[in-house]
Structure 1
Amino acid sequence: MRIDEKRDENGVYVTLNELLKFGHVAKGFSFLPSQPVHSILSGRHGSKVRGRGMDFSEMKQYVQGDDPRSMDWKATRRTGKPYIRVFNEERDRNVWLVVSQRNSMFFGTKMMMKSVAAAHLTAISAFRVVGSGDRVGAVVYNDETLKFFKPQRSKQGVIHILSEVVKQNQALHASNSNNTKDRLNEALKIVSATAKHDDLVILIGDGRAMDEESTRYITALSAHNDVIAALVYDPMEKELHASGSLFLSDGTVSVDVDSSSQSFQKRFSGRMEERVEGLMHLSKKHTIPLFSISTERPVLDQVQEQLGAAVSAKRRV
């Protein structure tokens, strides 16, 4: 499908130009171990983000102000003078974005579709990763196919990923009927086979494709890598407003329901609660940070609030 740069329908679809604009504003948060106190990745929330490894650089004589925890006691005893070991931070950590553009993401009642919010989050994350000196790779998938991108530390690599996101996003339509869950597991299988130790895997989607196999893959990944889950949702999934007759369709079957029925509202919201509870259980059991992205507000604001600190624009770095 040709990417149509003019197909920008107020939050229904995204364009490449729209996503590239995030390259200038993807600031105010970090995926590194050192976190602001308000970040869900900070230690007080029980999260773990290993961050990059450390390479030994040199030995140097201790001077006032150096970190005593870096003291090399063997060299100190041997020379009779205090020495410390100096390390340089590795700059080639791989960060994997697992991005859903499934039909279930083509839903939204507020500012944007869930698929658009996921695309925004992908762009924001990819530009932040590359801006931090790390490599970003991705698996972008929908109900019919998936596309794998090897990690790169370049803007061109980000553009390749975002171009595929736009392609799959613009292929979404209310009449699409295929809604398989297999693609998520295929994506996780690929990342599981290619991720190194201490990589970071960021899952971006609405959680509707999660099953027992997905849980097994995520559990295995989290044993040697960091995993962060981003749940993209629409407020209407949490609470269905009573409006009488409501027409619903999955692209194949259409139904007309009474949304004012309390029993229907309870069942409807219960599906979302069940999905969130499952993700929360997985998050708690394997120390996987979980944050949520709503379709009713700008995505960058939500990312900065949850993964960074509530700071003014002048202080964002």
Structure 2
Amino acid sequence: MADTVNEKQAFQSLLKKIRQIEIKSKKLSTDTFSGNYSSAFKGRGMSFKEVREYAAGDDVRFIDWNTSARFGHPFSKLFEEDRENTLMLLIDCSASNLIGTSHQTKQELITEISALVAFSAIKNNDKVGAIFFTDKIEKFIPPKKGKGHVLHIIAQMLTINPASKHTDIAAALQFLNQVVRNKAIVVLCSDFEDNDTYFKTLKAASYRHDCVGIQVYDAIEAELPKAGLIPFVDAESGELIWVDSANKDVQQNWKSSWQRDSLRISDTLKAARWDFIKFCTGDDYIKNLQSFFVNRIKRR
């Protein structure tokens, strides 16, 4: 009986979390944010809409000569953007994303960002799919439309129990290129706690897709607090180390090391023709994401 009660409470807690994320994401994905998404990620191209009589200012290259000859005066072809896109979320589920010292783990931040982008996508009638990965593919959700489908993806983000603790971004990208043949918007959310063997797969993905890399990190990873000896356990390897956070040299080396790693990640993605943005747990990711969209629109 106790197990049944606990299961019911766990299920109700899950529904509450999903509802909270849905409310927050739908509130944030306003017409303005949704419009920024639409402008930042163009459709797949132009498709023929109709023919109408030629009007002053029409591009002469689009005159329909067959129709014009038939009616004895010029007609123009009209085209419209083929707006429908597919958004693929690549979600890093490795153990290092469970870290969080600012009232939020990296995994929770990934979930909120992914939910916001996904709701913006379905507001534009795009399909949304997801690949959950560690150093293997943990789960693949094929792209579909609709709020219910996005809620299903969010539920998986909150409940997935990965079989592995480690990270292999290259394997996730290889799987993406196998299962998504047509051009898609690809958003990779990860802390990028991986080796440097994924450059070729990043580049291969960018030739086919419109790609954005989102790095999430925790404040303690970027800068040590002054708290004396601090035990750190590598979430993926289990290795325990003690760090003297009161030592100025240790603090500076820690900070410099993180900055080098972050710059290396940024340079690697940009060299592979990916857009790149990073978020810290506890920060206002909404403002930063909107700025990213606006800047992306200006560059296009």
TM-score, normalisation: structure 2: 0.81
Asked if 2 retains the 8 angstrom alpha-carbon contact of 1:239 and 1:269, the reply is: yes
Match of 2:139, SS state, is: strand
Alignment partner, residue 16 of structure 1: 18
1: CA distance, partners of 2:141 / 2:60: 38
1: CA distance, partners of 2:231 / 2:186: 37
Alignment partner, residue 45 of structure 1: none
Alignment partner, residue 29 of structure 2: 26
1: CA distance, partners of 2:270 / 2:128: 26
Q: Say whether 1:140 aligns with 2:132.
A: yes
- Higher alpha-carbon Rg: 2
- State how many pairs are aligned: 279
| 1:15 partner letter | K
Alignment partner, residue 315 of structure 1: none
Alignment map for 1:87-126 (pairs within 5 Å): 87-126=79-118
> How has the CA–CA distance of structure 1 residues 237 and 198 changed in structure 2, closer, same or farther, with 3 Å as cutoff?
same
| 2:125 partner letter | G
> How has the CA–CA distance of structure 1 residues 229 and 69 changed in structure 2, closer, same or farther, with 3 Å as cutoff?
farther
Alignment partner, residue 242 of structure 2: 256
Give the aligned CA root-mean-square deviation in angstroms.
3.0
Match of 2:101, SS state, is: coil
Indicate the structure whose relative CO is greater, using CA pairs within 8 Å and at least 6 residues apart. 1
Asked if 2 retains the 8 angstrom alpha-carbon contact of 1:207 and 1:275, the reply is: no
Q: Name whichever of 20-29 and 146-155 sits farther off.
A: 20-29
1: CA distance, partners of 2:67 / 2:173: 50
What displacement does 1:7 show?
A: 6.7
Gaps of 5+ in 2: 1-6, 296-300
| 1:216 partner letter | K
| 2:49 partner letter | S
What displacement does 1:25 show?
A: 2.6
- Summarize deviations over 1:199-248 as a string: whole Å, max 9, x none: 11111111113531x22111101012110111112222222222221121
| 2:268 partner letter | L
Alignment partner, residue 198 of structure 1: 183
> Percent same amino acid at aligned positions?
21
Q: Say whether 1:215 aligns with 2:217.
A: no
Larger relative helix fraction: 2
Match of 2:104, SS state, is: coil
- Choose from 127, 151, 165 the match for 2:157: 165
